[in-house]
A and B are shown apart, each in its own frame.
Chain A
């Protein structure tokens, strides 16, 4: 889906260099950071808001916010977990505003499934499955939903998730276990067909 997410020492040193250059007024250096993380940032926002246009908007806004707050960024840490938290906060703000707007409307009206595809042949079952899986994910607690999206859909490693959520790797696995268990409960009729 997007380039390797491994945050090895070399790429982190490169990131640090780009951040320092940006702080010295080199806009091109910031462009490298944007190019490197734009897709990841977009998919994070998409996981929260389920809407292509809003995800694009939020992820771009997150970069602009990051640019203005770059002097507060800890150069000893990788860049993406920091950006992730900005994207997440903006996404949660959008969801909060959306809830205010739609207080009287059905929640489902805003569950937009058009940004996902299902690797299945039969169109009707395909749509049904897509809807059921997303509804199940949306019914999880926010922390469970977040970790499912990060692991199952964005395929981050446990270490990367730990950095983004600022929790130990052991907690990542425990939380993932709880989240998958909750998801299993939501999809139990489907699961029963499969085993």
Chain B
């Protein structure tokens, strides 16, 4: 009798379905046929079954039930927070743009204000803005890279 050499992919797929108990009747017959035809396949089937049995022993622990009671509310809070941030940042952007426009047109363009005062105000404003961004960036960096973040304090 001619020993039919199976297509490896066919064997892989049948083996997976056999482990997951998803074989149709027709596939089951083919799988058994392949098993009988090769000691290598039989060995692989035993090994894969053993691994499957091992992983089946490790399961996820169910979280406490009350977590799900608050879950939906927490999602709504996040959605609201997202919207709040969007509105706040848009507001800040609009007001900053308006403030800058007013600053340039009213303050800097005013011939009555001495040049030295204008320079001083520009330096002070730029310094404060740079300082603000520097502190924010540092805080964010520390928060992101803190190796003890997972540690409960």
Interface residues of A (CB under 8 A from B): 1, 27, 31, 34-35, 38-39, 42-43, 46, 51-52, 56, 60-61, 63-64, 67-68, 97-98, 100-102, 104-105, 110, 114-120, 129-130, 133-134, 137, 148, 151-153, 157-158, 170, 173-174, 176-177, 180-181, 183-184, 187, 190-191, 194-195
Please determine whether B144 and A39 come into contact, CB atoms closer than 8 angstroms: no
Residues of B within 8 A of A151 (CB): 20
28 residue pairs bridging A and B, Cβ less than 8 Å apart: A1-B60, A1-B62, A34-B72, A38-B71, A39-B68, A46-B60, A51-B150, A56-B63, A63-B79, A64-B75, A101-B147, A104-B147, A115-B60, A116-B61, A117-B60, A117-B61, A133-B55, A134-B58, A151-B20, A158-B22, A173-B13, A174-B9, A180-B19, A180-B48, A183-B51, A191-B47, A191-B51, A195-B47
The DSSP consensus for interface residues of chain B is helix
Interface residues contributed by chain B, number (CB under 8 Å)? 43
Interface residues of B (CB under 8 A from A): 9, 12-13, 15-17, 19-20, 22, 46-48, 50-63, 67-68, 71-72, 74-76, 78-79, 81-82, 144-147, 149-150
Residues of A within 8 A of B50 (CB): 184, 190-191, 194-195
Residues of A within 8 A of B67 (CB): 56
CA distance A42 to B146 in the complex (A): 25
Contact of B144 among A46, A64, A97, A110 (CB under 8 A): A97
CA distance A42 to B79 in the complex (A): 17
Known: A63-B75, A64-B82. A120 touches B147 (CB 8 A): no
Residues of B within 8 A of A117 (CB): 58-61
Residues of A within 8 A of B149 (CB): 101
CA distance A133 to B145 in the complex (A): 29
Please determine whether A116 and B60 come into contact, CB atoms closer than 8 angstroms: yes
Known: A34-B75, A61-B78, A183-B51. A119 touches B63 (CB 8 A): no
Residues of A within 8 A of B79 (CB): 63-64, 67-68
Residues of A within 8 A of B51 (CB): 180, 183-184, 187, 191
CA distance A152 to B50 in the complex (A): 13
A44 to nearest B CB, angstroms?
A: 11
Residues of A within 8 A of B17 (CB): 173
Residues of B within 8 A of A176 (CB): 16
Kindly list 13 other residue pairs between chains A and B, CB separation below 8 angstroms, not including A101-B147, A117-B60, A173-B16: A63-B79, A64-B78, A116-B58, A116-B60, A130-B58, A133-B54, A177-B15, A177-B16, A180-B52, A184-B47, A190-B54, A191-B47, A195-B50
Closest 3 CB pairs of A and B: A64-B78, A194-B50, A177-B12
B67 to nearest A CB, angstroms?
A: 7
Please determine whether A102 and B82 come into contact, CB atoms closer than 8 angstroms: no
